[in-house]
Amino acid sequence: MTEWSLPVLLERFHKDIEHKLDTARQSLGHPGTKGDASEKVWLEMLQEYLPRRYTATRAHVVDSNGTFSQQIDVVVFDRQYSPFIFKFQGQEIVPAESVYAVFEAKQTVNAALVDYAMKKAATVRGLHRTSLPIPTANGLVPAKKPGHILAGILAFDSDWKPPLGDALVNALKKGDEAERLDMGCIAAHGTFTWDAAGFHTVIPQGKPATAFLLELIARLQDLATVPMIDVRSVMAFG
């Protein structure tokens, strides 16, 4: 009889992600190609392991006023209650109401990437989001206020020495509320999270990819369900 081990399974999960990211770094010469390969590793992980109510893709985010975000490497969005997904020539467009989280995925984290990810996050959080009352068997439930959109960074390595030291924490402090990065994974070293007390906590650990995935799922659970999108508002804009 096979003896299963949860610690071994979690360890192998992380090592698989780390190996794929390292292979992209070592085997591919062009920086853009490396970045695309790294992004794909993270997307495939999230597509495979997040609960099916969530989808992860590279996309622009749009609101009902016709305002678009910049292109985001990884958008985690709702597919159970959000019907409005556009695809054209390999480009995907996601409605602002459906977005739970956005991440920038690169090979290496540094001050420039942190600043870039913060500005990308702000272009999504600044979009208008509609919300309608929700019909149930017991009547209408009041419209839900659109919640906080998570934002963060996904990388393999760090340019800083130490990789998870004060330089990272200081870079994370620079953003305002719209730019705040809530969580991130540096697969070769550890993770970081934003806590309720208003501080970034950096956690060196042996299975960063595993820890990040489980923390992301927990935070998605805390967000519950996205607001009910007002589809007619898009028609009114058009």
Q: 227 pLDDT band (50/70/90 cuts)?
A: confident
Comparison of pLDDT for 9 and 81, the residue scoring more: 9
Predicted pLDDT at 32: 56
Give the model confidence (pLDDT) of 166-224 as tens digits: 999 999 999 899 999 999 999 999 999 998 778 899 998 889 999 999 999 999 999 99
Predicted pLDDT at 97: 93
Distance, in Å, from the CA atom of 132 to the CA atom of 89, rounded to the nearest integer, reads 32
Q: Does 80 have pLDDT greater than 80?
A: no
* Residue 32 burial (C-beta neighbours within 10 Å; 0-12, 13-18, 19+): exposed
Predicted pLDDT at 98: 94
pTM, 2 dp: 0.89
Contact between 197 and 4 under an 8 Å Cβ cutoff? The reply is no
| Active centre residues (catalytic) | 73, 104, 106
Q: Which residue has the tokens 């870039």?
A: 116
Give the model confidence (pLDDT) of 12-37 as tens digits: 888 888 888 888 766 655 555 666 78
Give the model confidence (pLDDT) of 126-170 as tens digits: 999 999 888 888 888 888 899 999 999 999 999 999 999 999 999
Residue among 63, 67, 66 nearest 94 (CA) = 63
> Side-chain half-sphere of 80: how many Cα atoms within 13 Å?
9
Comparison of pLDDT for 40 and 81, the residue scoring more: 40
Predicted pLDDT at 232: 79
Predicted pLDDT at 173: 93
Predicted pLDDT at 27: 66
Distance, in Å, from the CA atom of 127 to the CA atom of 113, rounded to the nearest integer, reads 22
Cβ contacts of residue 232 below 8 Å, gap of 6+? none
Q: Does 1 have pLDDT greater than 60?
A: no
Distance, in Å, from the CA atom of 59 to the CA atom of 73, rounded to the nearest integer, reads 7
